Amino acid sequence: MKTLIKAIMGGIAISMGGIIYLTLENHIVGSLLFSIGLFTIYTFGLHLYTGKICYIMSEKPVYLFTVLTVYIGNYEEVLKEAPHRQWVFSIPKRLRPYFMFDRKLLSKLSKCAWNVLSMYLKESVSVDDPIPGAVIAVQTFGKFLNFNPHLHIIASDGCFYNNSEFMVGIEPNA
């Protein structure tokens, strides 16, 4: 039960941080909440289908460093503001057992999805040497805590070029 509560709290903090960051002029509170949510999710490998928690890192200073890096990056505006879009990549039910028993496939899935998405984003702009940006999170549980590996991707809605200029890409026809 503790695992479920930590996962829910981490997700809520990330969501609230994103909403506050986008709606308020003062981005400090939003970026701090977002960082706390990431801290919760990344600190614990939340394997909800087994109820186990495993630590990804071993020392608390590393956790604090991670949180402070994300927080300071947002506060100091090291991260460029750009329009973004959420993408979800899911796997057919028949293929899910392969990912359940060989977790290394999840990183390959992540790389494969990024290759496809970055190619799409690069093709959607008309500049030389475009550079898309994204954050990919692997999630292994579904609505009812069943094993459902899928990817949540927040990607720039276009690409950066030259000296960090940004060009919005073509809107997907979904």
Residues 88 and 157 in one domain: yes
**Domain boundary, last residue among 53, 79, 105:** 79
Q: Is the pLDDT of residue 117 over 70?
A: yes
The reply to whether 47 and 91 lie within a common domain is no
Domain that holds residue 51: 1-79
Of 79, 107, 123, the last residue of a domain is 79
Total tally of structural domains belonging to the chain:
2
65-77 pLDDT, tens digit each:
555 555 555 555 5
Query: What are the tens digits of pLDDT across the range 84-98?
Result: 888 899 999 999 999
Name, in order, each residue with C-beta under 8 angstroms of 141's C-beta and a sequence gap of 6 or more: 48, 49, 147, 148
Do 48 and 3 contact (CB within 8 A), yes or no? yes
Q: Give whole-number Cα distances, 25 to 19, 20, 29, 34, 119, in Å.
A: 12, 9, 10, 16, 33
